[in-house]
Amino acid sequence: MNYEPVLLANVQKKDSHTLAVYQSGGGYRGLRRALKEMSPEDVVELVKQSGLRGRGGAGFPTGMKWSFLPENHPGPVYFCVNADESEPGTFVNRVQMELDPHQVLEGAILSCYATRAATAYIYLRYEYPLCRKRMQAAIDECYAAGYLGRNVLGSDFSLDVYIHVGAGAYVCGEETGLIESIEGRRAWPRIKPPFPAVEGLFRKPTVVNNVETLACVKHIVDRGAAWFRSMGTP
């Protein structure tokens, strides 16, 4: 059986990490569609229908995780991208960030739109200097193109994205340890409840998703829930 590459479809292209190459293959088409045609609730429902599960290890349904955020919260809501990837021998996130950073960013922007987050932090493993360089360059390109900043693509949605580099602690792969590290404290996991969706970064509602999970979100919004389910086990 032949399989269509999805998350790694762009990595063999020359300069695959650049905005120009990413857009030439339909990059940010899903974001444009979402901002024009979909409400945040529509995006959450679409991800629920897709059956997407977190790729960080726990396999928890992503759309359901988003729905745990308190309704009508005055804000702010924070979003954290878990790019720590400290499990020995793993490099899936590294490949995606080095060779196709805009795929990760588009998924993160869509996820922030869905969860009404106005600030996102990419928590990056210290040992990934090229990832840091490529992700920061992609962020800069997105600001210049109007995909980040105030009133993204002329919409009411605004988003700022920052990179936070960890110090190498394995425990930062756990979401509350990661949150503690961003806050400048020792990465000691918190007792739960409360869960981050209720009290996370800076004691505000927070969503933490893995790099690969967010890359999937981009394709779900762009190609639909039924298409994603047809690929196999979510």
The CATH number of 65-219 is: 3.40.50.11540
Strands (E), the chain: 78-83, 119-124, 160-165, 206-210
CB distance 216 to 222 below 8 Å: no
Break the chain into its structural domains and give their ranges. Answer: 65-219
Question: How confident is the model over 163-179, as a mean pLDDT?
Answer: 90
Q: Report the distance separating Cα 157 and Cα 65, nearest Å.
A: 21
Calculate the average pLDDT of the chain. Answer: 93
Q: Report the distance separating Cα 201 and Cα 76, nearest Å.
A: 10
Token reading at 3: 């399989």
Residue 197 scores a pLDDT above 50: yes
Q: Report the distance separating Cα 101 and Cα 140, nearest Å.
A: 12
The pLDDT of residue 163: 98
Residues in the chain: 234
The pLDDT of residue 1: 47
Q: Report the distance separating Cα 218 and Cα 154, nearest Å.
A: 20
Burial of 32 (0-12, 13-18, 19+ CB in 10 A): middle
Tens of pLDDT, residues 198-225 = 999 999 999 999 999 999 999 999 999 9
Q: What is the pTM of this model?
A: 0.95
Q: Report the distance separating Cα 182 and Cα 122, nearest Å.
A: 10
Percent of the chain at pLDDT > 90 equals 78
Q: How confident is the model at residue 2 (pLDDT cuts 50, 70, 90)?
A: low
Q: Report the distance separating Cα 202 and Cα 100, nearest Å.
A: 30
- Cα dist from 25 to 9, 12, 29, 209, 230, whole Å: 10, 13, 9, 25, 22
Nearest to 194 by CA among 55, 70, 79, 41: 70
